[in-house]
Amino acid sequence: MSITKRTFLSIGGLFCLVLLALNAATYLLFRQSITRQLITSQEAVTEANVQLSHVFTQTTDKLIYQYTSDTELGELLSRPVGRDELEDLNTKSLLNSRMTYHLNAENLLTNNGFRMELYLDPALPVSGLFTPENTIPNVSRVFSGDTVADTEWYRTVRGSTQGRYVFLDETRQRLCFAFKLQNSAYAGAHRKEGLGVLLGSLPLDRLPNLLSIFPLTEHSGFLLLNRQGRQVFCSENLDELPMDAPLPLSGETSTRLDLGGQRFLGTAANLESGLRLVFLTPYSDITGQVWGMMSPYLLCSAVFLALGVLVALGLSAQVSRPVVQFTRKLEAIRDTRSVRPETFAPQGPREIRQLNRSFGELIGRVNALIEEVTRKEDQRRESELRALQAQINPHFMLNAMNAVNYMALARGEDDIAATVDSIASLMRYSITEPDRLVTMSTELDNIREYIAVYVLRFRQDIRLEVLPGLDPAQVVIPKFTLQPLVENSIRHGITRQDPGIVIRIRAVETGGGVCIEVTDTGRGADAALLNDYLDYRQVDLKVTHGFGIRNVNERLQLRFGPGSHLRYANYEGGRLLARLTLPGSGPA
């Protein structure tokens, strides 16, 4: 390496490394500072919401206590029913009034749309007054427990020792609080399941009025979880977060979380209502703030980098100039055989002299290769001419068969004429561009000619069925792709003693390609052995000449790529299925 190039690389590399190190250190310092500040802010906001939640919880607990200690409510729940219809209506009205009376006394709840409903234990006699037939849902505040007996929250509260359950009613968009109701004035026996379940609900759009839910960054927000870890509330900035995303938060500390493919800074705290408050800030917001603060530094770095490039260019000018001159000489070359050696005579710095010398040697090797390619091209053309001349005999035989066909028709030998015509069609199909693409219908026509000749010779019932699927006229395949498979079904699927065979072919469209299946009613074969043979494994398999299955498999891969292949499978016991997969070769 020359001293000029070494100096250029050393100065440029050192300059870039210094700038990179300074920017990386600045980025890390800013990121750490912003993250620490966000953690402090999140913990402060979370603590403030814990205090606000405490006020709401105290209010709801006070309301529950009022229902629990209400003597009149206990007496109403103890009343017998069914004796006097007017008395039953009075009991029903008084129960609704007591429910409304205590709720209206709590302005914090009523001003935010809080509702309280009582679902009585079906075992209580008074529960029969609140069946769905005689209860108006939007008017009554008391209902029979039978109306919600199948709901998860009702069963959970009744079976819980804590008697409290928080959940989200997505249908009504309300945050619900379910409590087990006991009453000291109830005259009946103590019921472990409670006298009923109190269901308080708060509209989700009123939740920000009770908590201080404002984002610290553009996409930060709150989550509320119940004791089972399920989300019961998600602020608007976190709407894209999956509702069943796991939240591995423990204790009251801040930590990093990976949720829904994003990274978050999370802070959690437990609320007295049984909820868990989680504050989440995406790390993308932190990164955005960091890059915003680093913009001036990046601008200065770009200026210094530009100056460094100018200095490096000035230092390397003497080295680059000879290289540019050499490049222009190369661009002027149109035919290496017309290049004069003196044009690339060794001159200039040591590196340029070596480059001129090496290029002169390369020109010599290229000219030798051109001569070799020209010679082989002449040989190829000569081989093609000989192959064209060799086609005279097949065409002569084809014309001779046509003549025999006319003679047989003239003498009334229709079966002989049909056979000769089928053989002529087979020969015509085989000698005209054997590796070109044809439609599947053309290939099937050739197969029918083959079957006609075979049936005439061996007198067996051989039928070809094309099953519903893609139109054969729209499927394009290489010639002699299906014929070897059909021929194998006939030659190996039946013996001379069998009455015949049915061969079924179907083409279906798959994702981005075509799948062609060939099945028969013959004796079958070992599909695994055939697949091993296709993969060139050592197998005990008798191989015949002609277009074999290996030839079909290799031509498919050459034509359509490595994703195309022939594979065998067994079905219905030992019957054989040949499947051709042609990816990227949909209907024409």
Task: Evaluate the CA torsion angle 72, 77, 78, 79 in order and state its sign.
Answer: positive
Supply φ then ψ for residue 399, to 5 degrees. Answer: -65, -35
pLDDT digits (tens, 9 = 90+) for 159-210: 887 767 888 887 888 888 899 888 888 888 888 888 899 999 988 888 777 7
Confidence band of 332 (pLDDT split at 50, 70, 90): low
Pairing state of beta strands 231-234 and 254-259?
Answer: unpaired
Query: Residue 570's pLDDT is what?
Result: 92
Query: Residue 508's pLDDT is what?
Result: 94
Closest CA to 588 of 472, 506, 433, 460: 472
Asked whether the predicted pLDDT for residue 513 surpasses 70, the reply is yes
Query: Residue 395's pLDDT is what?
Result: 47
Whose tokens are 């006699």? That residue is 125
* Helix or strand run (H / E) with residue 307: helix 283-331
Query: Residue 108's pLDDT is what?
Result: 83
Q: CB-based contacts of 353: which residues, under 8 Å, 6+ apart?
A: 346, 347
Of 287 and 556, which is predicted with more confidence?
Answer: 556
DSSP-assigned letter for residue 511: T
- What percent of the chain is predicted at pLDDT more than 70? 76
Query: Residue 580's pLDDT is what?
Result: 94
Name which of 39-53, 230-244, 479-493 the model is least confident about: 230-244
Q: Are 479 and 435 in contact (CB under 8 A)?
A: yes
| R_g over Cα of the chain | 44
Q: What is the mean pLDDT of residues 118-123?
A: 91
Q: Are 237 and 220 in contact (CB under 8 A)?
A: yes
Of 58 and 394, which is predicted with more confidence?
Answer: 58
Alpha helices, DSSP H only, in 481-544? 483-493, 527-534
Q: How many residues does the chain have?
A: 588
Q: What letter represents residue 385's amino acid?
A: L
Q: What is the mean pLDDT of residues 256-273?
A: 74
Query: Residue 414's pLDDT is what?
Result: 66
Q: What is the mean pLDDT of residues 139-145?
A: 89
Query: Residue 270's pLDDT is what?
Result: 76
pLDDT digits (tens, 9 = 90+) for 551-588: 888 888 888 888 899 999 998 877 899 999 998 655 65
Q: Are 273 and 18 in contact (CB under 8 A)?
A: no
How does the average pLDDT of the chain come out, rounded? 78
Q: What is the mean pLDDT of residues 93-111?
A: 88
Asked whether the predicted pLDDT for residue 543 surpasses 70, the reply is no
Q: Are 506 and 468 in contact (CB under 8 A)?
A: yes
Residue 495: exposed, middle, or buried by beta-carbon count in 10 A (0-12, 13-18, 19+)? Answer: exposed
Q: What is the mean pLDDT of residues 456-467?
A: 86
* Helix or strand run (H / E) with residue 580: strand 575-583
Q: How is residue 321 written in tokens?
A: 């100039």
Q: How is residue 478 written in tokens?
A: 């290489």
Asked whether the predicted pLDDT for residue 151 surpasses 70, the reply is yes
Of 545 and 425, which is predicted with more confidence?
Answer: 425
Pairing state of beta strands 476-478 and 461-466?
Answer: unpaired
Confidence band of 457 (pLDDT split at 50, 70, 90): confident
Name which of 143-152, 323-332, 400-409 the model is least confident about: 400-409
Beta bridge partners of 478: 437
Q: How is residue 77 written in tokens?
A: 């729940």
Pairing state of beta strands 142-144 and 115-120?
Answer: parallel
Beta bridge partners of 268: 278
Of 337 and 453, which is predicted with more confidence?
Answer: 453
Of 384 and 331, which is predicted with more confidence?
Answer: 331
pLDDT digits (tens, 9 = 90+) for 371-423: 878 877 766 665 454 444 444 345 445 555 665 666 666 677 666 667 777 77
Name which of 95-104, 167-176, 349-358 the model is least confident about: 349-358
Query: Residue 504's pLDDT is what?
Result: 94
Asked whether the predicted pLDDT for residue 514 surpasses 90, the reply is yes
E-assigned strand segments in 56-195: 115-120, 142-144, 164-169, 174-181
3-state secondary structure of 248: coil
DSSP-assigned letter for residue 277: E
